[in-house]
């Protein structure tokens, strides 16, 4: 699905909604951030039927129940994977974080992700896998 003309504004709106907020499993976490970006940038809503979860264990269990080993595999099932070096603003990806994968959004030379401290910026060089949105 191609990106709508106003995708940069939509991306900004998602980022603004996550800024200053706290991390909450199932509401304001790294998975929800990536899904909100995918919806904003492309209009697609993969995994809209994903049941609610409220913990790291619950989130991991949902991924395993769907046959995925982590966020990267779940994203690869619905988005084209690209080399991290080719990821563009508005694409999503995963980084290694605390022994697992964390979903992030590419914003240029950096990526943004939700951490317990809130929305966090880190160098895009940390991208382990990347996925084209739109």
Give 4-25 pLDDT, tens digit per residue.
999 999 999 999 999 988 999 9
1: in domain = no
- pLDDT, tens digit, 9 for 90 and up, residues 98-109: 888 999 999 999
Q: What is the CATH number of the domain that holds 77?
A: 3.90.1720
- Report how many domains make up the chain: 1
User: Where is 98: in which H helix or E strand?
Assistant: none
The 10s digit of each residue's pLDDT in 44-67 is 999 999 899 999 999 999 999 999
Range of the domain at 56: 7-131
Place of tokens 């990267």: 72
- Return all residues near 62 (Cβ < 8 A) that are at least 6 apart: 50, 51, 53
| Residue 2, in any domain of the structure | no
User: In this structure, how many other beta carbons lie within 10 angstroms of the beta carbon of residue 6?
Assistant: 11
Q: How many Å apart are CA 40 and CA 26, to the nearest integer? A: 18
- Would you say residue 32 lies in a domain? yes
- On whether residue 117 sits in a domain, the answer given is yes
Can you give the pTM of this predicted structure? 0.94
């Amino acid at each position: 699905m191609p990106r709508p003309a106003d995708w940069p504004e939509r991306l900004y709106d998602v980022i603004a909604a996550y800024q200053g907020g706290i991390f909450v499993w199932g509401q304001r976490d790294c998975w929800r951030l990536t899904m909100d970006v995918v919806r904003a940038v492309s209009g697609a809503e993969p995994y809209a039927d994903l049941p609610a979860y409220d913990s790291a264990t619950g989130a991991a269990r949902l991924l395993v129940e769907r046959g995925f080993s982590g966020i990267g595999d779940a994203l690869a099932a619905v988005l084209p994977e690209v080399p991290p070096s080719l990821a563009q603003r508005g694409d999503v990806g995963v980084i290694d974080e605390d022994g697992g994968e964390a979903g992030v959004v590419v914003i240029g030379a950096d990526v943004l992700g939700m951490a317990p401290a809130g929305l966090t910026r880190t160098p895009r060089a940390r991208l382990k896998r990347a996925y084209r949105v739109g």
